[in-house]
Amino acid sequence: MSEMIERVARAIAQNPPYERTEYRDSGPVIVRDFESTARAAIEAMRKPTVEMIAVGSWASHGGGEVGSFGARNAYDCMIDAALKDTP
């Protein structure tokens, strides 16, 4: 499980969509229970919104803007890294 998937799974475990007190303790076994949900949440973020691309394209990159293509490419690479099974 990648670091990002674990972080998202831990957040889901701490804020489940239902009230079950045994899921409030997000230890290693419980976090694994939410791994597929975390992966699905990150997959849902794979395609950046137009606003995200616009904001990202203005990010400074060596003294200039990265542009919308660079922002989209960088975002895709970051999501791919988050979804890798090994950190």
Number of Cβ within 10 Å of residue 71's Cβ equals 21
pLDDT of residue 83: 83
pTM check: above 0.75: no
Pair 36, 55 in one domain: no
* Contacts with 59 (C-beta within 8 Å, 6 or more apart), sequence order: 65, 66, 71
Are residues 53 and 38 both part of a single domain? no
Domain count for the chain, please give it.
Answer: 2
Do 14 and 30 have their domain in common? yes
My answer on whether 81 and 58 are in the same domain is yes
Structure tokens at 23: 């899921």
Residue 34 CB burial class (10 angstroms; 0-12, 13-18, ≥19): buried
Q: Which two tokens stand for residue 46?
A: 């794979």
pLDDT tens digits, 29-56: 577 778 888 889 988 888 887 777 777 7
Residues 36 and 5 in one domain: yes
